[in-house]
Structure 1
Amino acid sequence: MAKQLPQIMNIFFFLLLLGAFGEARDPFACDPKDAATANLPFCKVSMPISDRVKDLLGRLTLQEKVRLLVNNAAAVPRLGIKGYEWWSEALHGVSNVGPGTKFGGAFPGATSFPQVITTAASFNATLWEEIGRVVSDEARAMYNGGAAGLTYWSPNVNIFRDPRWGRGQETPGEDPVVAGTYAASYVKGLQGTDGDRLKVAACCKHFTAYDLDNWNGVDRFHFDAKVSKQDIEDTFNVPFRMCVTDGNVASVMCSYNEVNGIPTCADPNLLKNTIRGQWKLNGYIVSDCDSVGVFYNTQHYTSTPEEAAADAIKAGLDLDCGPFLAQHSEDAVNRGLLNENDVNNALGNTLRVQIRLGMFDGEPSSQPFGNLGPNDVCTPAHQQLALEAARQGLVLLKNRGPSLPLSHLRHRTVAVIGPNSNATVTMIGNYAGVACGYTSPLQGITNYARTIHQMGCADVACKDDNLFSGAIDAARQADATVLVMGLDQSIEAEFLDRTGLLLPGRQQDLISKVTAASRGPVILVLMSGGPIDVSFAQNDPRIGAIVWAGYPGQAGGAAIADVLYGTTNPEGKLPMTWYPQSYLSNLPMTDMAMRSSPNRNFPGRTYRFYKGPVLYPFGHGLSYTNFVHSIASAPTVVTLTVDGRHHSGNETISGKAIKVNHARCEKVSIGLQVDVKNAGSKDGTHTMLVFSRPPAGPWVPEKQLVAFSKVHVPAGGQQRVGINIHVCKFLSIVDRSGVRRIPIGVHDLHIGNVKHSVSLEAKVLGVIKT
């Protein structure tokens, strides 16, 4: 028996590992048990990454190389390298979209956070990074258990340009600075900040000017986005630049559409010159799935598939989501359209990322994060963070009276009505996985009061009034009525843009009839990714309050109930403008212009350029208390130093404006100290937004967000908040040629109702050369 003890202990230890990790993953490469490959130079952790990549490239044949240029990269058995699936997603939790992730067994689910548009409404960069950290913990755990990859094609940081876009829900909203800050924060959480060591590899997508899926007969595969140099630099590229330069993302994905006649995945100016050249991407560029095939087969950009493969690789594409490069790159080399060094450059970029992920370091269990397993997925702490994120993202749009919060004593019976009233899967939006569990709105409210539940409509399409009578009767019986209405993925989704902004079907009719019958306050809760024109509800005095929940994630129902009953003081702000339906008149989604043009009756897009009526402005969001701002200290004059070698009389836009690349920007910032007082009777967290209005001139935005911050202030208390505004980054504008400049003159800073003016002056140093 004593002789058998070591063997029994080994079996016991193996079973423990199996319980902790599911199916324990074998090494991807460089297995220390494989004597033939373990000592090859590319397996030596002590060697510089560039040397390891060079050694591996030198051992691969051309045929092997091209089969590594696609998402389902082939194995190289003779070198001990397994096949790898690059395509996994983690937009707001580990997703089951993409073949790289498999739920089941030891990993039945993962924490499903609110959809990105809802999380963006928190305006909390610390929260965004923390969510990324939790998602990457769960992703690494699933990788260790053989259930996922390490390369995640998230986040989506496209600008929510048009309110009809079906994928706007995936984005951080319409403001470039918010989207860029979100990108950098979430990526840091996913990847970690340990230099060349990656926890997982994130990817910012879809580059660039991609925000139309299928509208009025135009789809993303056939769309050529005509975009000015000004709008590319001022709006569409900003989040991607911040993702690369501030977030150090490991990947960028090019999009399906053409931009000014060139497919983005075949444009060297966008890929090689901008992403890798100007922004210094340390990572790889990947196509959206089958984009290379699309620009050959659908857009007919090249005459032969070999030319398409060559154009993509020479433009700077490193990896194809799809089979195209594996099928045609070798022939492109043989025909002289591409040389093997081009293939080496592309493959080298993906191999570097795999090495940074530890995939060539031998046993996964011996690496950093190698101890993560099933017990690190859906933990109580992770699920609590999902609840907290939902609470922070809910936006109180209206509160007449006030009608909210509801009272435990006066509102003991609540009618919960609407097609989203008992929603579960709807709450997690798209690009989601399998949630750990759900708390629906009905379940959340039931924790506070006795409920009477009626759907009112069979689904969000609400095609008839068959279920109206039950809903009306419920409202008559209850002390308060909560209508949970809105949209779902049948109305707005990938490849499904909306036709208008009104509630679908007969939802408005249901709301009005239930409201008329209700004997208590009526609260309207809206689930949606995009804005909805609910002007009728805003203007109806019988509807006491309106709450936008977005798609609030697995704990959304609990968060909604917490806000309705005042356990949570709402703090979210809208990350996009809510327009009236009339805004869409004569406004095709295919018109990419951002700025208004009275000459052609074009209203402009987003709060930065639109001047017309809105239902709720960008940044709108009420609280159960009242916050008052005052500026404790702020400069009135800031001097910008300009190198005299660049100074000339042409540095003007209706007055003097200095090119950013001619200014000495390193330490030029505006420091504000703002006192935030809670003048109400309830503790609350305030979301402070700082806007700038540049000096007047053509082509400048109406205003632009330059900073945001969160601060918790007890009732009756006051907190001082420091804000630092980098002048070159945030007070600059872009001229019609796409050149970023800093207007010299008076910039008005707006914080709530407080305005502070700062005069920017230019000081020229050195000898002026003409």
Structure 2
Amino acid sequence: MAKFYFLLCSILVLFAISEARNAPSIATINDSPSNLTKIYTKICDPQRFNDLGLDMDDFSYCDSSLSYGVRVKDLIDRMTLTEKVQQIGDTAYGVPRIGLAKYEWWSEALHGVSNVGQWNSKATFFDDIVPGATSFPCPITTTASFNQTLWKTIGQAVSNEARAMYNLGHAGLTFWSPNINVVRDPRWGRTIETPGEDPFVVGTYAANYVRGLQDVEGHESTDDPNSRPIKVAACCKHYAAYDVDSWLGVDRTSYDALVTEQDMLETFQKPFEMCVKEGDVMSVMCSYNNINGIPACADRKLLKDTLRGEWDLHGYIVSDCLDLDCGNYFTNYADKAVIQGKISEKDIDEALKNLYIVLMRLGFFDGSSKYESLGKQDVCSDENIELATQAAREGMVLLKNINGTLPLNAEEIKTIAVVGPHANATTAMIGNYAGIPCKYTSPLDGFSKYAEVKYATGCADVMCKNASLIFPAMQAAKNAHATVIVAGIDLSIEAESRDRIDLLLPGYQAQLITQVAQVAKGPVILVIMSGGGVDISFARDSDNVKGIVWAGYPGEEGGRAIADVIFGKHNPGGRLPLTWHEGSYVDMLPMTSMSLRPVDSLGYPGRTYKFFNGSTVFPFGSGLSYTTFAYSLTSADKNLNIQLNKFQHCRDLNYTDDTFKPPCPAILTSDLQCDDNNLVFEVKVSNTGTVDGSEVVMVYWVPPKGIVEGPIKQVIGFQKVFLPAGGSQKVKFQLNACKSFGLVNYRGYHLLPSGGHSIMIGDNLLSFAVGVKFQLA
């Protein structure tokens, strides 16, 4: 086993995989082994070299008139083999004799600058100088807003705080975020970190958040991507087919994900392709697991052929924790591997080149005048705290509202009972991979701004192992004009290394909700905090529960956002980014079945809204509003006729027996000239109610009837629009038919089928047919 892992690490270096999972990033430039006390924010500072007893003019890697490639080669050529391997682990120790500073690679910024994860280093930390950073809602909550502008804006705010902390010596420049794995199974403990179950939505979130973190204004693109300056370096993880952590004895470090080529291309790799191609991410982290018998971090096809080759990654690859490649394994053994002939020194040179070009683009060597003024005043600013609040509001999803009970009227509701295990939530609201927030506004704090609060916890914690506290909660509800029950789960139920066994509320929570709702004096509203879905069908179907709101994990200002939604200061417009399954779903198939499509031979149902056709608690895309919306189609391309030449050949597709098969079923998309504007339509959205509100215009593709490989439906576009009461707006979609109507067959070919395709807006509020016809030469 030890030889296997040693070989694995050698392969990682061969592919220019820079660091171990511990390969994050430190903050400013700290020059041990000298006794310097000054913090430098760039390596190539003449005074810094002078303090080291060196002349900066003697080192060409500090000559900013040269290209990054030339400078990095000069830097690497000055190192001995031992010095080189000291730079490819968790801590890059630097080379004081040539002026190269130490650097810690691991920082996190999943939904705000975080101090989580640094086992032996302090790349990012908080103290009296920087006591905290803005904690935005967890990604699953932010995704529910379906607001692409918001996603990018949060990335920009987080990177502002990151650069400010870097200037203060409290953070690095390389951040291992975001997590863009698709949620294939509702039991996955890391659902909280992700953008949900749809590959297109996940990839769109990734591209926007990464652009927010990385892009320097005015330098969003360039003819030479390896010279484009970047603000901070993001990392899309975990590549790929990773969504099992610890389930009934199955562990992520040894799990072998058996995946078809169809599912790999269509689902598991899609977000990473978008992250690299559209987001131009600086780093990709390969995942813990094996894929079809090969460790993901040692898969040549996955890493070198696809990631670096086909997708053209401009950055570095980092391995996730495989135990032996965490910490200082590379730094301890890579030089011995070279001496033994298992790898070559030029492979290490290539890894160093990828790493140090990224650091040069970040300004680690030359500084960044654009961001040098950022400081303590830019961390936890009023603007960022308000942005976190707005993100939480937009991520709230209204799932039930009997007879327009919500919003509550503050003029009528003088007293409100706030009960449940999350009624006074603070740390639970910020989820995982979180730092120290600027402050907390709990639900109790939020509701106290609107009414006199009567508080009773109802449960000691989310586990709710006994019913002794339910009665005081019932008493509070009996004596209040309205009751809000804040229930759900937390990191003790779902988290990294902690997959769920069931989809139910734990302990006596269901009893708490039922009994409080039975005796309450006024309307009862249930608020659920969770990442993954929870089977609350009992509350959905109860006449005593008038409204249900999903709050996800709403970040540091979550309590204020919840109260603002309940009392109508904000009209909720969020949508569920994943399916909420019934509790019986977990008995239908094991978590380890990787197939997205149903496995008829075993009786397994399909996964995600794309392939599951059974009953649910709430389907993907669910979300109500305090107003109503109407759609009308104003213009559309309803036919796409493609003239084929002699080099474009028809491809077969599998159809159900009762379906007519076209003479030319499909064409390889790579053989077609599809542009981004060959499928255009416009929808008029009208707010037909009496309340201002936002609407997510969700566009689905439904493939031609009878194609066996096709999904039930699939998101191909979405836009969020704000409309005043009585207002309307035209929303235009310009799509690429090869991407939007394309599918991957079981052999791994990307095909555009012919026949009658359908475009469906929302939950079938509007639909129209688009005919695709191939005209043979």
Q: TM-score by structure 2 length?
A: 0.90
The match for 2:583 is 581
Q: Post-superposition shift, 1:598?
A: 2.6
Q: Given the alignment, which residue of 730, 739, 755 partners 2:740? A: 730
Indicate yes or no: 2:240 matched with 1:208. Answer: yes
SS of the aligned residue for 1:576 comes to coil
The match for 2:725 is 715
Q: Post-superposition shift, 1:403?
A: 1.4
The match for 2:278 is 246
Q: Post-superposition shift, 1:667?
A: 4.3
Do the aligned partners of residues 610 and 376 (structure 1) sit closer, same or farther apart at CA in structure 2, a change above 3 Å counting? same
For 1:224-263, list aligned pairs within 5 A. 224-263=256-295
The match for 2:309 is 277
The match for 1:511 is 513
The match for 1:677 is 686
Alpha-carbon separation, structure 2, partners of 1:589 and 1:75: 44
For 1:338-417, list aligned pairs within 5 A. 338-361=343-366, 364=367, 367-417=369-419
The size of the alignment, in residue pairs, is 712
The match for 1:68 is 87
Indicate yes or no: 2:165 matched with 1:142. Answer: yes
Alpha-carbon separation, structure 2, partners of 1:435 and 1:469: 34
SS of the aligned residue for 2:56 comes to coil
The match for 2:341 is 336
Alpha-carbon separation, structure 1, partners of 2:75 and 2:643: 48
User: Which amino acid in structure 2 is aligned with residue 707 of structure 1?
Assistant: G
Contact conserved, 2:393 with 2:572, CA < 8 A, in 1? Answer: yes
SS of the aligned residue for 1:597 comes to coil
Q: Given the alignment, which residue of 175, 180, 187 partners 1:157? A: 180
Alpha-carbon separation, structure 1, partners of 2:204 and 2:625: 24
Alpha-carbon separation, structure 2, partners of 1:368 and 1:321: 34
Alpha-carbon separation, structure 1, partners of 2:215 and 2:722: 27
The match for 1:38 is 56
Do the aligned partners of residues 675 and 26 (structure 1) sit closer, same or farther apart at CA in structure 2, a change above 3 Å counting? same
User: Which amino acid in structure 2 is aligned with residue 680 of structure 1?
Assistant: G
Indicate yes or no: 2:102 matched with 1:83. Answer: yes
Contact conserved, 2:210 with 2:234, CA < 8 A, in 1? Answer: yes
Q: Post-superposition shift, 1:423?
A: 0.3
User: Which amino acid in structure 1 is aligned with residue 497 of structure 2?
Assistant: F
Indicate yes or no: 2:444 matched with 1:432. Answer: no
Alpha-carbon separation, structure 1, partners of 2:641 and 2:238: 38
Do the aligned partners of residues 667 and 442 (structure 1) sit closer, same or farther apart at CA in structure 2, a change above 3 Å counting? closer
Alpha-carbon separation, structure 2, partners of 1:229 and 1:621: 34
SS of the aligned residue for 1:286 comes to strand
Indicate yes or no: 2:676 matched with 1:662. Answer: no
The match for 1:700 is 710
The match for 1:106 is 129
Alpha-carbon separation, structure 1, partners of 2:195 and 2:456: 33
Alpha-carbon separation, structure 1, partners of 2:304 and 2:486: 48
Contact conserved, 1:201 with 1:249, CA < 8 A, in 2? Answer: yes
Do the aligned partners of residues 129 and 764 (structure 1) sit closer, same or farther apart at CA in structure 2, a change above 3 Å counting? farther
SS of the aligned residue for 1:333 comes to helix
Alpha-carbon separation, structure 2, partners of 1:224 and 1:37: 53
Q: Post-superposition shift, 1:650?
A: 3.5
- Which deviates more, 232-241 or 594-603? 594-603
Alpha-carbon separation, structure 1, partners of 2:645 and 2:169: 56
Q: Post-superposition shift, 1:426?
A: 0.5
Indicate yes or no: 2:216 matched with 1:198. Answer: no
Q: Post-superposition shift, 1:71?
A: 1.9
SS of the aligned residue for 1:461 comes to coil
The match for 1:26 is 40
Alpha-carbon separation, structure 1, partners of 2:74 and 2:738: 43
The match for 2:32 is none
Q: Post-superposition shift, 1:760?
A: 1.5
The match for 2:191 is 168
User: Which amino acid in structure 1 is aligned with residue 104 of structure 2?
Assistant: E
**Residue deviations 1:331-365, cap 9 Å, x none?**
1111111111111111111111011111111xx4x
Q: Post-superposition shift, 1:30?
A: 2.1
Alpha-carbon separation, structure 1, partners of 2:125 and 2:617: 42
Contact conserved, 2:426 with 2:442, CA < 8 A, in 1? Answer: yes
User: Which amino acid in structure 1 is aligned with residue 350 of structure 2?
Assistant: N
SS of the aligned residue for 2:617 comes to coil
User: Which amino acid in structure 2 is aligned with residue 26 of structure 1?
Assistant: Y
**Residue deviations 1:254-274, cap 9 Å, x none?**
011000001111111111111
Alpha-carbon separation, structure 2, partners of 1:52 and 1:321: 29
Q: Post-superposition shift, 1:625?
A: 0.5
Contact conserved, 2:524 with 2:545, CA < 8 A, in 1? Answer: yes
User: Which amino acid in structure 1 is aligned with residue 747 of structure 2?
Assistant: S
The match for 2:659 is none
Two-structure CA RMSD over aligned residues (Å): 1.4
**Residue deviations 1:159-215, cap 9 Å, x none?**
011111110110000000000000000000000152410100000000000001100
Q: Given the alignment, which residue of 744, 753, 756 partners 1:746? A: 756
Indicate yes or no: 2:563 matched with 1:558. Answer: no
For 1:514-593, list aligned pairs within 5 A. 514-593=516-595
Do the aligned partners of residues 283 and 633 (structure 1) sit closer, same or farther apart at CA in structure 2, a change above 3 Å counting? same
SS of the aligned residue for 1:140 comes to helix
User: Which amino acid in structure 2 is aligned with residue 245 of structure 1?
Assistant: K
- Which deviates more, 634-643 or 710-719? 634-643
Q: Post-superposition shift, 1:658?
A: 1.4
Do the aligned partners of residues 188 and 24 (structure 1) sit closer, same or farther apart at CA in structure 2, a change above 3 Å counting? farther
Alpha-carbon separation, structure 2, partners of 1:724 and 1:538: 38
- Which deviates more, 227-236 or 744-753? 744-753
SS of the aligned residue for 1:134 comes to helix
**Residue deviations 1:678-729, cap 9 Å, x none?**
1111111111100010113111100000000011111112111111222122
Alpha-carbon separation, structure 2, partners of 1:131 and 1:256: 28
Contact conserved, 1:31 with 1:80, CA < 8 A, in 2? Answer: no
Alpha-carbon separation, structure 1, partners of 2:108 and 2:741: 35
User: Which amino acid in structure 2 is aligned with residue 747 of structure 1?
Assistant: H
Do the aligned partners of residues 641 and 455 (structure 1) sit closer, same or farther apart at CA in structure 2, a change above 3 Å counting? farther
Do the aligned partners of residues 134 and 321 (structure 1) sit closer, same or farther apart at CA in structure 2, a change above 3 Å counting? farther
**Residue deviations 1:413-435, cap 9 Å, x none?**
10000010010110011001110
Contact conserved, 2:174 with 2:234, CA < 8 A, in 1? Answer: yes
Alpha-carbon separation, structure 1, partners of 2:451 and 2:441: 15
SS of the aligned residue for 1:615 comes to strand
Alpha-carbon separation, structure 2, partners of 1:699 and 1:624: 39
The match for 1:464 is 466
The match for 2:9 is none
The match for 1:185 is 208
SS of the aligned residue for 2:74 comes to helix
Contact conserved, 2:650 with 2:667, CA < 8 A, in 1? Answer: no
The match for 2:143 is 120
Do the aligned partners of residues 640 and 242 (structure 1) sit closer, same or farther apart at CA in structure 2, a change above 3 Å counting? farther
Alpha-carbon separation, structure 2, partners of 1:662 and 1:740: 10
The match for 1:611 is 613
- Which deviates more, 221-230 or 713-722? 713-722
| Percent of aligned pairs sharing the same letter | 50
The match for 2:768 is 756
Alpha-carbon separation, structure 1, partners of 2:652 and 2:248: 43
Do the aligned partners of residues 763 and 48 (structure 1) sit closer, same or farther apart at CA in structure 2, a change above 3 Å counting? farther
Do the aligned partners of residues 156 and 640 (structure 1) sit closer, same or farther apart at CA in structure 2, a change above 3 Å counting? farther
Q: Post-superposition shift, 1:748?
A: 0.4
Q: Post-superposition shift, 1:564?
A: 0.3
